[in-house]
A and B are shown apart, each in its own frame.
Chain A
């Protein structure tokens, strides 16, 4: 619509631009005045940069510091959370379109529960129930204590500190259960978006329901659900910040630690927000590029 209008009237700086520019300048001036004159805040970015890497004088080398470790743990939480959320979403999404009412009821109940529950209580309940109840019989703690140094090293790379393994897995499951509900709905919408003719054609070929889904419906549905799934993965990165409330030492948790121990609140939270922004914005640009390339590839195949 804007395109149509702007085609008629040429775009130029108008009154609204002047008003907004004036307002923006006024806000900036006021903020600077408040920070410098009223709060007398001394910016100390250098100190914060040292929380990425710091120079260890005793060892004589640069070592990663809290913020860097937080980023690594965030990536681990997001990775395992995404893998499990995808599995949960796929299974529950297929249950959602199943012929059996009992499966539909279970998946519907799960989705409605997550979508109507406030995130913080949900994360705590999922964390306590999964972490303290379901994972306890696995005896991960003693398993890790008796594990060989090699396995401990592998676990350390994949999941972080072995003695915190149970908490980490419980938190990743909480995150996966939360985002899995949204993926369930994406999968359901994808399967239901396939035209009836496709179902009828597959049925008339005498395929069983499994084969209908496997060879006819899902291959088409996957293409349609890829864009919303990539969006959901960005959402998952943002939701992963909530894991900090469960004392998982990821980026937001580290931000809080640094902010409170140094009292550099402004710099810390601006840096943490900027890091999340870079991650999420970068991901969305990356996905956009991949999507465009895939679309081009598809049209070329069709064209040939």
Chain B
């Protein structure tokens, strides 16, 4: 209805200061937060924000000691740091297997992609933790990292595929007509053109990895989310701890989104030059 109402005085809206709209948004968000907070107090929820900093860091005897939430954050970052190169590797191998002429290679690649795409990541985590890990004798950490990287690998495979396919046909034919071998065709003609296209979505994969790593908290890995669940069970400060955790994730993912943005702009600028 607001959409319809805004139709007639279209020009006046265009002239209206954006600050008025922004102010409206801020007021609306404020009202929403107020309703939630008062709703919580009416339930006699006891807000204890003052206890949160202790979960982040403690200064004892002049030394800074990280609290459980920040320790969990380090585990999350560690998982991401291992998961990203593994996911990129799995994705690259899958994309190349799919493009090869070998029937077995294509079968393996498409079987892997179908399996990953048609099952929930949570069930994949359970499968890796309870089934794959004992078979191969993996620890909890590596079971989680592998579950995550095999899941993300299906996304990176798609990024590689679309990147390689975006190289125009004439380029492939030119490489063929020069008599380049398959390796040299990829090495000198296709990949130099495909990589600038693939790089921004690949760095964006970091954000997805950080987000999805929270699902690993369903098994025994003490990342940020699991630390939060653990501390809530201990202190009953469900709202404060969840909101703090969410804020930490937001800061992390938005920071990486900005990095992705910068990478994208750099590449575009270099492409033009």
Interface pair A1/B172, CB less than 8 Å apart = yes
Residue ID in chain B nearest A120 by CB atoms: B214
Inter-chain contacts of B245 with A (CB < 8 A): 121
Contact A252:B135 (CB < 8 A) given known A98-B2, A102-B21: no
Interface pair A273/B25, CB less than 8 Å apart = no
Residue B165 at the A interface, CB < 8 A? Answer: yes
Interface pair A280/B3, CB less than 8 Å apart = no
Within B162-198, which residues are at the interface with A (CB < 8 Å)? 165, 169, 172
Interface pair B18/A101, CB less than 8 Å apart = yes
Interface pair B25/A34, CB less than 8 Å apart = no
Residue ID in chain A nearest B245 by CB atoms: A121
Interface pair B225/A121, CB less than 8 Å apart = yes
Residue B121 at the A interface, CB < 8 A? Answer: yes
Residue A43 at the B interface, CB < 8 A? Answer: no
Inter-chain contacts of A269 with B (CB < 8 A): 123, 126-127, 130-131
Interface pair B13/A100, CB less than 8 Å apart = yes
Q: How far is the CB of B234 from chain A (nearest CB, A)?
A: 16
Interface pair B122/A99, CB less than 8 Å apart = no
The interface-forming segment of B81-89, B236-244, B263-271 is: B236-244
Contact A136:B43 (CB < 8 A) given known A16-B105, A102-B21: yes
Within A2-26, which residues are at the interface with B (CB < 8 Å)? 2, 4-6, 9, 11, 13-14, 16-17, 20-21, 24
Interface pair A277/B115, CB less than 8 Å apart = yes
The interface-forming segment of B51-59, B60-68, B152-160, B246-254 is: B246-254
Interface pair A118/B10, CB less than 8 Å apart = no
Contact A210:B4 (CB < 8 A) given known A100-B21, A101-B21: yes
Give the A-binding residues of B (Cβ under 8 A). Answer: 2-4, 6-8, 10, 13-14, 18, 21-22, 24-25, 28-29, 35-36, 39-40, 43, 99-105, 108, 114-115, 117-124, 126-127, 130-131, 134-137, 165, 169, 172, 207, 210-215, 217-218, 224-225, 228, 238-239, 242-243, 245-246, 249-250, 253-254, 257
Give the B-binding residues of A (Cβ under 8 A). Answer: 1-2, 4-6, 9, 11, 13-14, 16-17, 20-21, 24, 31, 34-35, 39, 94-95, 98-103, 105-106, 109, 113, 116-122, 124-125, 128-129, 132-134, 136, 208-210, 212-213, 234, 237-242, 244-245, 252, 255-256, 259, 265-266, 269-270, 272-273, 276-277, 280-281, 284
